[in-house]
């Protein structure tokens, strides 16, 4: 069981290290608002990763073989990411008057909710976790129920640890940056979120055509 937990931990770390929408959101939030909101972004991402890993292990990926459902979920996720990106760009260029937009997550709870929405916006990742779990089961890392549970838990912990380290690093950097530099981070994050939304939409169309 320890081997399954450590294997899941390693996979969770590697998956979370990939630069994606949540990575950008965590980095931007931590740099602008500090460690606590950034850590909450990581906690939200880890929560959804855990749920999706469980669904993948239970075979929910079979539901996504239906092209209409896969198309609807993929396009919905792309729209959510694009919207977040546009709002982030808007916040980067507008003159700050002291009022924060709904996506400028300044409290840990608001950050957590935002992370849940952003991570859940790509339900097609259930397919990825299903493939990972199948490989782990074949290699006897997650063949038994308790081993499977440890493996799934490990993936979530790996995701959480990665985002906590990212939040700590970016909050330290952000504390030393001026408003102009923070706006540059906003622009990079906004463009990145829009790009990932576009990629998700494109891949969804290709997978259902």
- Return mean pLDDT, the chain: 80
Q: Residue 1 pLDDT more than 50?
A: yes
pLDDT at 138: 46
Q: Is the pTM of this model over 0.85?
A: no
Q: Residue 127 pLDDT more than 60?
A: yes
Instruction: Of 80-94, 99-113, 128-142, 183-197, give the lowest mean pLDDT range.
Output: 128-142
Share of the chain above pLDDT 90, in %: 22
> Nearest-CA neighbor of 90 among 106, 101, 98?
101
Tell me if 73 sits within 8 A of 64, measured CB to CB.
yes
Tell me if 38 sits within 8 A of 26, measured CB to CB.
yes
Q: What angle do CA 119, 124, 14 make, to 5 degrees?
A: 60
Q: What distance, in Å, lies between the first and last C-alpha atoms of the chain?
A: 41
Instruction: Of 47-56, 118-127, 142-151, 172-181, give the lowest mean pLDDT range.
Output: 142-151
pLDDT at 99: 43
The per-residue pLDDT for range 71-121, each reduced to its tens digit, is: 887 788 888 888 888 988 887 776 444 444 444 446 898 889 888 888 888
HSE-CB at 78 with a 13 A cutoff on CA atoms is: 16
Task: Provide DSSP, 1-16.
Answer: -HHHHHHHHHHHHHHH
The per-residue pLDDT for range 44-57, each reduced to its tens digit, is: 999 988 888 787 77
Cα–chain center distance at 5? 21
Q: Which phi-psi region, left, alpha or beta, contains residue 105 (left: φ > 0; alpha: ψ -120 to 50)?
A: beta
Task: Provide DSSP, 62-88.
Answer: GGGGSHHHHHHHHHHHHHHHHHHHHHH
pLDDT at 134: 64
pLDDT at 141: 54
User: Which pair of tokens denotes residue 145?
Assistant: 């129920």
User: Which pair of tokens denotes residue 114?
Assistant: 């935002």
Q: Residue 179 pLDDT more than 90?
A: no
Calculate mean pLDDT across residues 17-38.
90
């Amino acid at each position: 069981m320890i081997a399954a937990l450590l294997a899941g931990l390693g996979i969770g770390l590697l998956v979370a290290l990939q630069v994606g929408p949540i990575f950008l959101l965590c980095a931007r939030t931590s740099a602008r608002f500090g460690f606590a909101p950034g850590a909450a972004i990581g906690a939200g991402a880890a929560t959804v990763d855990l749920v999706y890993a469980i669904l993948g292990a239970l075979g929910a990926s079979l539901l996504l073989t239906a092209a209409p459902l896969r198309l609807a979920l993929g396009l919905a996720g792309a729209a959510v990411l694009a919207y977040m990106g546009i709002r982030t760009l808007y916040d980067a260029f507008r003159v700050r008057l002291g009022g924060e937009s709904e996506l400028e997550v300044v409290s840990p709870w608001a950050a957590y909710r935002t992370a849940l929405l952003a991570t859940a916006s790509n339900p097609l990742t259930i397919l990825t976790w299903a493939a990972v779990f199948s490989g782990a089961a074949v290699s006897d890392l997650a063949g038994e129920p308790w081993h499977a549970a440890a493996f799934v838990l490990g993936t979530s912990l790996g995701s959480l640890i990665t985002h906590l380290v990212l939040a700590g690093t970016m909050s330290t950097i952000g504390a030393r940056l001026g408003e102009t530099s923070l706006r540059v981070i906003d622009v990079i994050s906004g463009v990145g979120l829009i790009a990932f939304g576009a990629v998700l939409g494109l891949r969804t169309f290709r997978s259902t055509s």
